[in-house]
Structure 1
Amino acid sequence: MIYEHKRNTNIGVGLGVIMQLWGKSMSSASPTMGFIVVLLGIVLFVWGCGQYAKSKGYSGVWGGLGLFSLIGLIILVFMKDRDR
């Protein structure tokens, strides 16, 4: 794995999950703001999944699996590492 992509994966996936949870919790008080935070969280999560795919030697387009949330991340985890 490439260190830079691994670090970006942790940032993107971690912040993406936190922002999605935070946005869902704040949506009862402010639905519009909650939706925006959740949307930003999804974008960060997909970007983090793309970085994870790059660190395994695949194209960043595979980060689109992040749209399937944790199922997409699990698929990426089980993909063979080409960057050895």
Structure 2
Amino acid sequence: MIATLNKKSLQLGVPGLVLQYGGLFLAVDFFPVGVLAILIGTILLLFGLGYYLKAKNRNLAWVVLIFIPILGILFLALLVDKSKPLSPGRA
């Protein structure tokens, strides 16, 4: 995995998740602010996962899996890293 891209993915993805879930709680009392936080969080998470996929040398089209709740992100995390060649003992 390419370390610089992985670091950038964490810098964008973690705040994106925090904004998404925090926006859910804000939307109850402060509807416009909560919806804006959810939208900004989703955009940050998409870019963060895009950098994560680039770090694994994968096609950016995989990012659409984010729209499958929980399982999509889990599937992206389990993708095989193509940024380095496979070792002889690794299938």
Alignment of 1:1-84 (within 5 A): 1-84=1-84
Task: State the TM-score, normalizing by the size of structure 1.
Answer: 0.87
Q: Give deviations 1:4-47, integer Å, cap 9, x for gaps.
A: 21011111221111001111111122111100100110111111
Query: Which aligned segments of 4 or more residues in structure 1 are displaced greater than 3 angstroms?
Result: none
Residue type matched to 1:11 in 2?
Answer: Q
- Aligned positions, number: 84
Gaps of 5+ in 1: none
Task: State the TM-score, normalizing by the size of structure 2.
Answer: 0.82
Partner of 1:27: helix, strand, or coil? Answer: helix
Could you tell me whether the CA contact under 8 Å between 1:46 and 1:65 is conserved in 2? no
Give percent identity, aligned residues only: 23
Residue type matched to 1:58 in 2?
Answer: R
**Structure with a larger share of its residues in helix:** 1
Q: Give deviations 1:55-84, integer Å, cap 9, x for gaps.
A: 001122322222334322211111111001
Mark the structure with the bigger radius of gyration.
2
User: What root-mean-square deviation, in Å, do the aligned CA atoms of Structure 1 and Structure 2 show?
Assistant: 1.3
Flag the 1:8–1:70 CA change in 2: closer, same or farther, 3 A: farther
